[in-house]
């Protein structure tokens, strides 16, 4: 996965080094960037405009497919009058709280377990098959169990987010630990590092590339966990809004909630990219760029 | 006087992933005196690196004895420095932090370790690069970081596994001169592995030729060239040329044997 991410960002960085050398190439790249932006905007206008137009003309039935203008109205209504479960900000806050808690706990647990199993072959031999089995279960079904166990409150959603995040981070941390350059470990040991120092000062920083690659996906998983958890049973949250909208056949509210979730996810993605740039600043630029 | 390093009938066998047993070293006997600069040459795959792993304690021998300062090697000793063939400096640490790593691992207070590291950076000519990261340096500069990183621990034994093989020829001879200058300061015992016979003779007091694997010692040659030496110039010394011919006579058969194996196996 991280290899994929790395190969995705290598190309633009290479192109950039060429640009610096040649002003004509730089101008061409700038022009190309503008063209790309214009085309992106065009795609948006055509899609949303077409959707609006077709629903106004009743080619698309707004009862099933919603309508962009009504989605905007719905969001305005939520902002002004709140939702049935309280203010819209409370809903966003509750979902974020669940997602962030699940994310934080899942990430820490994933890193600790991944590095432990990666460093201690005996542990990976014992737990390996169990982890594979648990990973092959579609974990989203655990949501129902968690609601039975933990009730309709915060903890059942957090638990679901944790299990989703844990495995994504775990496998990357494990792989990252296994791929640590043996020379670096040998060098640290010769220089006098203890086993613990090797883990914290060699294995962790070198597995960080892998771990951070998994954070991008796992925040998405945390959001899925929180929202599906709310969907299955909750008193507050964006998932509940979607559920209520579904029950009242209101596609506009479903889409409005989706837009809010997308904004939250994009902001989180931006923060993780920032974290990545800070933590991995030691890497040569063609690997640490986040152009996409 | 106790030898700094002594291998007696050292043997090392590995189990290959397929389950077969591969003998890397067989009955290897080697003695290196304290303060001696010993170069080891031999064909590819003859177990040169394995020899260093045994001395350093990174690997244990399957048979025979490995003694350092007269004591059997049971683990990684504190008096050993190791320079690896590939870059083994920590890419996420700054140059200064890389050099200070050894003392910090060993519990030296941070301030003292950093001061000491700055001292060593000056000695290897990298004072202005303390805050850089390894990827911002040239190959030769990274080697100097690695050298300072090893020497800061003041090892009595320095093991070097083809440390300069990745460098271009000019940089390599400059690095060799710098290595000799630093070595003269404290005269640790050195075992220096190389493919390059010229490099071996120019640096060492003693050149050991290993056989094609399973490796063992074929011959030992003493290099009676005066020190201090200039690596660039010493290769034109008639004694150097004569010695080169003698050692090459011994090495050639092993190289050809190893080469023949790689071509028939392929």
Q: What DSSP line would sit under chain A, residue for residue? A: -HHHHHHHHHHHHHHHHHHHH-HHHHHHHHHHHHHHHHHHHHHHHHHHHHHHHHHHTTSS-HHHH--HHHHHHHHHHHHHH-BTTB-HHHHHHHHHHHHHHHHHHHHHHHHHHHHHHHH-HHHHHHHHHHHHHHHHS-GGGHHHHHHHHH-SSHHHHHHHHHHHHHHHHHHHHHHHHHTS-HHHHHHHHHHT--HHHHIIIIIHHHHHHHHHHHHHHHHHHHHHHHHHHHHHS-SSSHHHHHHHHHHTT-HHHHHHHHHHHHHHHHHHHHHHHHHHHHHTTTS-HHHH----
Alpha helices (H) along chain B:
48-56, 95-105, 110-123, 139-151, 169-186, 197-203, 231-234, 238-265
> CA angle at residue A56 from A53 to A61, to 5 degrees?
105
| Contact residues on chain B for A194, CB-CB shorter than 8 A | 105
A10 interface with B at CB cutoff 8 Å: no
Residue B88 to residue B167: CA distance in whole angstroms? 15
Cα first-last separation, chain B: 48
What does the pLDDT average to over A221-243? 91
- Asked whether the predicted pLDDT for residue A22 surpasses 80, the reply is no
B76 interface with A at CB cutoff 8 Å: yes
A186 interface with B at CB cutoff 8 Å: yes
Q: List the single residue in A190, A202, A283 with the smallest CB-CB distance to B90.
A: A202
- Asked whether the predicted pLDDT for residue A15 surpasses 50, the reply is no
CB contact under 8 A, B56 and A205: no
The nearest alpha carbon in chain B to A205 belongs to B92
Write down the pTM of the prediction. Answer: 0.80
- What part of A 244-283 touches B (C-beta under 8 Å)? 282-283
User: How far is the alpha carbon of B247 from chain A, nearest alpha carbon, in Å?
Assistant: 31
Domain count of chain A?
1
User: How far is the alpha carbon of B244 from chain A, nearest alpha carbon, in Å?
Assistant: 32
What does the pLDDT average to over A82-99? 89
Residue A205 pLDDT class (50, 70, 90 cuts): very high
CB contact under 8 A, A205 and B149: no
The number of CA neighbours under 13 Å toward the Cβ of A270 is 6
Q: List the single residue in A191, A194, A282 with the smallest CB-CB distance to B92.
A: A282
Could you tell me if B59 and B211 are in contact, meaning their C-beta atoms sit under 8 angstroms apart?
no
Residue A176 pLDDT class (50, 70, 90 cuts): very high
- Tokens 């490796």: give the residue: B215
Give me the DSSP letters along A178-208.
HTS-HHHHHHHHHHT--HHHHIIIIIHHHHH
Residue A141 to residue B162: CA distance in whole angstroms? 56
| Contact residues on chain A for B60, CB-CB shorter than 8 A | none
Q: List the single residue in B89, B102, B135 with the smallest CB-CB distance to A192.
A: B102
Within 8 A by CB and 6+ apart from A160, the residues are A102, A139, A140, A142, A143, A146, A225, A226, A228, A229
| Contact residues on chain B for A208, CB-CB shorter than 8 A | 92
- Asked whether the predicted pLDDT for residue A3 surpasses 90, the reply is no
- Asked whether the predicted pLDDT for residue A129 surpasses 60, the reply is yes
Q: Between A285 and B22, whose confidence is greater?
A: B22
According to the model, what pLDDT value does residue B21 have? 87
| Contact residues on chain B for A185, CB-CB shorter than 8 A | none
Q: Between A280 and A109, whose confidence is greater?
A: A109
- Tokens 């579609």: give the residue: A138
Q: What is the CATH number of the domain that holds A187?
A: 1.10.3720.10
Assigned fold of B30-79+156-266: Rossmann fold (3.40.50)
Residue A136 resides in a domain: yes
According to the model, what pLDDT value does residue A20 have? 52
Q: Where are the domains of chain B?
A: 30-79+156-266, 87-154
Question: In terms of Cα–Cα distance, which of A271, A233, A259, A227 is closest to A97?
Answer: A227
Q: Which helix (H) or strand (E) is B208 found in, with range?
A: strand B206-210
pLDDT tens for B87-142 read 889 999 999 999 999 999 999 999 999 999 999 999 898 989 999 999 999 888 99
Q: Which domain holds residue A253?
A: 67-288
A206 interface with B at CB cutoff 8 Å: yes
- Asked whether the predicted pLDDT for residue A256 surpasses 60, the reply is yes
User: How far is the alpha carbon of B75 from chain A, nearest alpha carbon, in Å?
Assistant: 10
| Contact residues on chain B for A188, CB-CB shorter than 8 A | 90, 101, 105
Residue A286 pLDDT class (50, 70, 90 cuts): low
Best of B57, B77, B83, B92 to disrupt the A interface by mutation (most A CBs within 10 Å)? B92
Residue A173 to residue A196: CA distance in whole angstroms? 17
CB contact under 8 A, B86 and A183: yes
Residue A4 resides in a domain: no
What does the pLDDT average to over A190-194? 93
- Asked whether the predicted pLDDT for residue A19 surpasses 70, the reply is no
Please identify every stretch of chain B with a pLDDT value under 50, giving residue numbers as ranges. 266
According to the model, what pLDDT value does residue B2 have? 85
According to the model, what pLDDT value does residue B265 have? 55
pLDDT tens for A36-59 read 999 999 999 999 999 999 998 888
Residue B183 to residue A7: CA distance in whole angstroms? 43
Q: List the single residue in A189, A201, A283 with the smallest CB-CB distance to B76.
A: A189
């Amino acid at each position: 996965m991280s290899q994929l991410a790395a190969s995705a960002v290598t190309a633009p960085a290479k192109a950039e080094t060429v640009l610096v050398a040649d002003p004509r190439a730089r101008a061409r790249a700038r022009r190309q960037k503008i063209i790309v932006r214009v085309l992106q905007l065009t795609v948006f206008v055509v899609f949303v405009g077409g959707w609006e137009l077709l629903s106004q003309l009743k080619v698309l039935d707004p009862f099933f497919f919603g309508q962009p203008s009504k989605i905007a109205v719905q969001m305005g209504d939520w902002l002004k009058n709140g939702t049935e479960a309280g203010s819209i900000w409370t809903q966003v806050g509750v979902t974020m709280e669940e997602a962030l808690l699940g994310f934080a706990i899942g990430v820490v647990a994933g890193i600790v377990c991944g590095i432990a199993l990666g460093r201690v072959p005996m542990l990976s031999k014992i737990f390996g098959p169990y982890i594979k089995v648990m990973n092959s279960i579609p974990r989203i079904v655990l949501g129902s169990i968690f609601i039975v166990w933990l009730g309709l409150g915060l903890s059942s959603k957090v638990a679901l987010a944790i299990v989703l995040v844990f495995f994504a981070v775990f496998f990357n941390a494990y792989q990252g630990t296994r791929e640590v350059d043996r020379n670096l470990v040998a060098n640290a040991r010769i220089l006098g590092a203890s086993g613990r120092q090797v883990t914290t000062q060699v294995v962790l920083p070198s597995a960080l590339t892998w771990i951070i690659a998994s954070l991008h996906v796992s925040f998405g998983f945390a959001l899925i966990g929180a929202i599906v958890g709310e969907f299955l049973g909750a008193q507050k949250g964006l998932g509940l809004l979607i559920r209520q909208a579904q029950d009242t056949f209101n596609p506009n509210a479903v889409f409005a909630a989706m837009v809010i979730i997308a904004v939250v996810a994009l902001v989180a993605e931006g923060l993780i990219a920032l974290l990545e740039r800070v933590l991995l600043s030691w890497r040569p630029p063609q690997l640490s760029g986040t152009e996409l | 006087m106790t030898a700094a390093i002594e291998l007696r009938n050292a043997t090392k066998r590995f189990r290959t992933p397929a389950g077969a047993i591969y003998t890397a070293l067989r009955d290897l006997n080697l003695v290196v005196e304290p303060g001696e600069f010993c170069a080891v040459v031999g064909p590819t795959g003859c177990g040169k690196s394995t020899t260093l792993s045994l001395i350093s304690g990174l690997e244990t021998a399957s048979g025979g004895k490995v003694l350092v300062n007269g004591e059997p090697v049971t683990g990684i000793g504190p008096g050993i420095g190791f320079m690896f063939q590939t870059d083994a400096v920590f890419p996420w640490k700054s140059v200064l932090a890389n050099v200070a790593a050894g003392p910090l691992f060993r519990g030296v207070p941070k301030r003292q370790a950093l001061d000491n590291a700055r001292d060593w950076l000056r000695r290897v000519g990298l004072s202005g690069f303390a805050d850089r990261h390894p990827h911002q340096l040239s190959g030769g500069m990274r080697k100097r970081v690695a050298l300072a990183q090893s020497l800061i621990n003041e090892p009595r034994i320095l093991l070097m596994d083809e440390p300069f093989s990745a460098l271009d020829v000019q940089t390599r001879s400059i690095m060799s001169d710098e290595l000799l200058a630093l070595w003269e300061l404290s005269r640790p015992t050195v075992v220096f592995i190389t493919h390059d016979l010229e490099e071996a003779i120019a640096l060492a007091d003693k050149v050991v030729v290993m056989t094609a694997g399973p490796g063992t010692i074929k011959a030992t040659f003493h290099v009676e060239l005066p020190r201090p030496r200039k690596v660039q110039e010493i290769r034109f010394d008639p004694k150097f040329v004569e010695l080169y011919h003698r050692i090459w006579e011994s090495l050639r058969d092993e190289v050809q044997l190893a080469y023949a194996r790689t071509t028939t196996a392929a």
